[in-house]
Amino acid sequence: MGSSRPQPFSKEFPLVSIPKKVVVLPDAGPKNPFQYQLVAYLEGCGLDVRKAPSRRFGAVVSAVFRHRPDVLYFDWVQSFILGKTLLVTLLRCLVFVLEISYVTYIRRIPVVHTLHNVQNHAKRWLRLERTVYGWFLRRCDKIRVYSETTRRKIARFYKLDPGRILVIQDVPYHHYYPNQVSRREGRTELGIPDDAVVFLFLGLVKPYKGLEDLIAAFLRLEGEATYLVIAGASDQQSYGESLRRQVAGHPRIVYHNFFIDPGKVQYYYQAADAVVLPFKNVEHSGSVDLALSFGKPVITVNTPLLNGLLAHQRELLFNHPGELPGCLAAAPRFDLAAIGKANFRVVDGANYKNLILLFR
């Protein structure tokens, strides 16, 4: 499972017969490995890929005029249609509808989209979001989802042609993150004893991710041999500080509320016995893929996608937060190393090479 920075994909993937220029929106920035790997994959397949921001009105049309793409690819559409107030959201939605109408009806540019979640995590303006998002999906030439369940669900709910919806997984993260340190090196870095059972949450620290439930569940565990590590930056300083107050002074909770450098991520995963992602609900999570890429068992919510993907470790999936303490307590009784190896095989065998089909 050792890894280094990804090499160009051109030797591994077939080239596109006719080179195309693709504009990716929104630009998630250099710290987003999901989009980094997607762009690297497409470039390795012979596509000319440009990224464009979304943080201003008219971003879509501006990208079209600047780059003159053959295809527009969208990741998180919510950044184009949602604002902090209802008025800003209404304005964003109006501008977005006009822009997509211009792109699809006047410029005739194909639109491709990856559906990460059916609704925004903050649950803001859901009815308006559903209306505008459904309108957008019906104008996409191809839509990518992560499970057959989601494919059937959105085809029925939004009245979409199922033939335009493809189930394709992400490029595994072991093509991106280094993974050369040992378990002992990871634990030395974090100040954790060799004989401890270590649970890890690593990712953006946000309210919808259920970290209060995780802390409460961990505090119910008995014994001195378990540690909890929570690592990642928070986009809401007040929320990050509220969690800091909850764990302050606990000798077996390591709280690193800051961005974890890609080269340091391996220390956290190598130190861990299992990864805990206490989401209340999720369609797809890059954090799950990351845990699998490091060969770790995952304690997380039981969704149709994860129930199928992680069928060999269903005992570690919970249906509601009340079951989380039981999952934590039961985890050490399983062969976690064997589960981790099975998880790595799952993600390493994903059909990510089919991503090029979105652009043919």
| Residues sharing a CB contact under 8 Å with residue 88, sequence separation 6 or more, in sequence order | none
Is the preceding peptide bond at 251 cis, omega within 30 degrees of 0?
no
Interhelix angle 211-219/237-247, nearest 10 degrees? 0
Average pLDDT over residues 46-67: 89
What is the reported pTM?
0.84
Q: Which has more confidence, 139 or 19?
A: 139
CA-to-CA separations, 130 to 63, 119, 149, in angstroms, rounded: 25, 7, 19
pLDDT at 2 over 50: no
In angstroms, rounded to a whole number, what is the distance separating the alpha carbons of residues 166 and 255? 39
- Structure confidence by residue, pLDDT tens digits, 219-255: 999 777 999 999 999 988 899 999 999 999 899 999 9
How many C-beta atoms surround the C-beta of residue 30 within 10 A?
8
Q: What is the pLDDT of residue 17?
A: 53
pLDDT at 3 over 50: no
% of the chain exceeding 90 in pLDDT: 70
Interhelix angle 336-348/286-293, nearest 10 degrees? 110
73: helix, strand or coil: strand
User: Is the Cα torsion angle 233, 235, 241, 244 positive or negative in sign?
Assistant: negative
Confidence of residue 5 (pLDDT cuts 50, 70, 90): very low
Average pLDDT over residues 1-29: 62
User: Is the Cα torsion angle 264, 283, 121, 355 positive or negative in sign?
Assistant: positive
In angstroms, rounded to a whole number, what is the distance separating the alpha carbons of residues 307 and 303? 6
Q: What is the pLDDT of residue 6?
A: 42
Q: Which has more confidence, 10 or 333?
A: 333
Average pLDDT over residues 208-221: 93
Angle at 342 between CA 314 and CA 178, to 5 degrees: 120
Q: What is the pLDDT of residue 284?
A: 77
Q: Between β-strands 111-114 and 142-145, what pairing exists: parallel, antiparallel or unpaired? A: parallel
Name the amino acid, one letter, at 307.
Answer: N
Domains of the chain by range and CATH?
9-167 (3.40.50.2000), 178-348 (3.40.50.2000)
Average pLDDT over residues 55-63: 87
pLDDT at 28 over 90: no
Confidence of residue 1 (pLDDT cuts 50, 70, 90): very low
Q: What is the pLDDT of residue 149?
A: 87
CA 228, chain centre distance (Å)? 22
Q: What is the pLDDT of residue 13?
A: 45
% of the chain exceeding 70 in pLDDT: 94
Q: What is the pLDDT of residue 91?
A: 94
Average pLDDT over residues 138-160: 93
User: Is the Cα torsion angle 276, 277, 283, 288 positive or negative in sign?
Assistant: negative
φ and ψ at residue 291, rounded to 5 degrees = -60, -40
Strand order in the sheet with 111-114: 48-51, 21-25, 71-74, 111-114, 142-145, 165-167
Q: Which of 44, 41, 40 lies closest to 10, judged by CA?
A: 44
- Residue whose tokens read 């130190």: 271
Confidence of residue 132 (pLDDT cuts 50, 70, 90): very high
Q: Which of 305, 303, 302, 304 lies closest to 315, judged by CA?
A: 302
- Kindly state the tokens that stand for 37: 């790997």
Q: What is the pLDDT of residue 305?
A: 81
Summary count for the chain: helices (H), strands (E): 14, 12
Q: What is the pLDDT of residue 18?
A: 54
24: helix, strand or coil: strand
27 φψ region: left (φ > 0), alpha (ψ -120 to 50), beta (else): beta
pLDDT at 271 over 70: yes
How much is the mean pLDDT over the chain? Answer: 90
Name the amino acid, one letter, at 67.
Answer: H
In angstroms, rounded to a whole number, what is the distance separating the alpha carbons of residues 297 and 331? 9
pLDDT at 199 over 80: yes
Among 112-126, 194-208, 211-225, name the one with the lowest average pLDDT.
112-126
- Structure confidence by residue, pLDDT tens digits, 281-312: 777 788 999 999 999 999 999 988 888 889 89
